[in-house]
Amino acid sequence: MMQRTIGRTRRQAMVLIGFLLASAPAAAIAQTTHPNFPLIAPEDDGIGNAPDFQSPTVAPDGRVTLRLWAPAVNQAFILIDGLGFLLPEPMQKTSDGLWIYTTPKLAPDIYSYNFVVGGAQIADPANTPDPTIIYGPPNLQSQFVVPGHPPRVWEETNAPHGAVAHYVYHSQILGAPEDYYVYTPPGYAPTRATPYPVLYLLHGLGDSAAGWLSSGRANLILDNLIATGQATPMIMVMPRSYGIANIAALNTDPSAQALQLRNFASLLLNEIDHRVARDYRISHNPNQRALAGLSMGGAEALSIGIAHSDIYANVASFSAGLPMLDPDFAKAFPAADHPQLTRNLKLLWVSCGTDDPLIDPTHQLEQWLGHKNIRFSAVETPGGHEWPVWRRNLAQFVQLLFKRPSG
């Protein structure tokens, strides 16, 4: 049976700029840039930094001022994810060639943005304290943080910090280099008698294995929740979630999408999991194992998790890219009819932003699961196809995991 809970945030719902609508063959993810404005590197436009200004500056009331020194241009605009901009907002030029834009009061969160100059998007050349993030070439964006009081769960605090290790290896399955990150909780003890529960966390199309760290702040979320006793200390694995080389084909080619799912499932189950089990004290009890992902990664988590409920008893999708799967859910999830599924699955968690183009396919999946008498929790969070939604999803999901020791 379905259990529905509605997540609440202070963030205004928004329409995601440049998102591929759910009726398309596949759902784009993490591509939050306006399709009419290609991205370029700052130096390509001859834009430099004046030595006597800062960008961004965050005021105590939550207003943020962005500045760009471009004296030779006649127009400059800004795009900020999560504010509902349907078109770039114009900036104002000062007499010395400095372009300025000040936001309205913003809720505490992490925001990504671009300047638009000469019809092209650029990252903020002056934003050095919080470095530019990369969604996938050439999608360069910059970030700023509006802090909360008290700090939000994704912010840097005085909580003890876990460690993050990066691994690169040659995949025998794909015949190419692959990589993944592993988070270990504070005080991780490799010789501990009780194995650690493990969460495999998947990114979306256009992102990299580092996406959940640079944009999702997953390590800080776990640090803060573990410190307050709201989450169980766990190991978190963040792999590069692709199964084919031609990533662009995943937006248009159903055969590429099917190959992607097969290859990545094999990669995860037969290479990454084995490597992590070799190097870390992780549990092999399905109840102490979880698989979750956003958009493309959410579709992968559902596909792999439902097919392998004997390995992952906890499965979550955040804004799942359901158009990447077979539109006939019976074919997309053949294991749904297996009598062991409902006995194996401890938690099936399906979430989406209320203004996400994927909300309708998500509702269709929920209805289908309900008809199959598969228990699940449905969560809707204000917002679109964007990181503020997914950070909140992750923070909520991990608090539900691994509450009993694995024995």
Choose the weakest-confidence range: 57-66, 84-93, 214-223, 337-346: 84-93
Residue 140 clears pLDDT 70, i.e. is over it: yes
- DSSP annotation of 271: I
| CB-based contact 383:390 (threshold 8 Å) | no
Domains and CATH numbers, the chain: 2-13+153-398 (3.40.50.1820), 42-134 (2.60.40.10)
Choose the weakest-confidence range: 85-94, 202-211, 340-349: 85-94
Q: How far lies 268's CA from each of 209, 302, 316, 352, in Å?
A: 13, 14, 16, 24
Please, what is the average pLDDT of the chain?
84
pLDDT of amino acid 404: 62
Going across the sheet that includes 64-69, the strands are 57-58, 64-69, 98-102, 92-93
Q: Tell me the per-residue pLDDT of 275-315, one tens digit each, with 9 for 90 and over.
A: 999 999 999 999 999 999 999 999 999 999 999 999 999 99
Residue 359 clears pLDDT 80, i.e. is over it: yes
Average pLDDT over residues 334-357: 93
Rounded CA separation 367/243 (Å): 29
pLDDT bin (cut points 50, 70, 90) of residue 146 is very high
Average pLDDT over residues 238-266: 89
pLDDT of amino acid 246: 82
Residue 5 clears pLDDT 50, i.e. is over it: no
Residue 13 clears pLDDT 60, i.e. is over it: no
Average pLDDT over residues 15-41: 31
Average pLDDT over residues 92-108: 93
pLDDT of amino acid 400: 97
Average pLDDT over residues 57-79: 93
pLDDT bin (cut points 50, 70, 90) of residue 252 is confident
3-state helix, strand, coil in the chain (%, to 5): 25, 25, 50
Average pLDDT over residues 394-405: 89
pLDDT of amino acid 365: 97
pLDDT of amino acid 36: 42
Rounded CA separation 223/239 (Å): 19
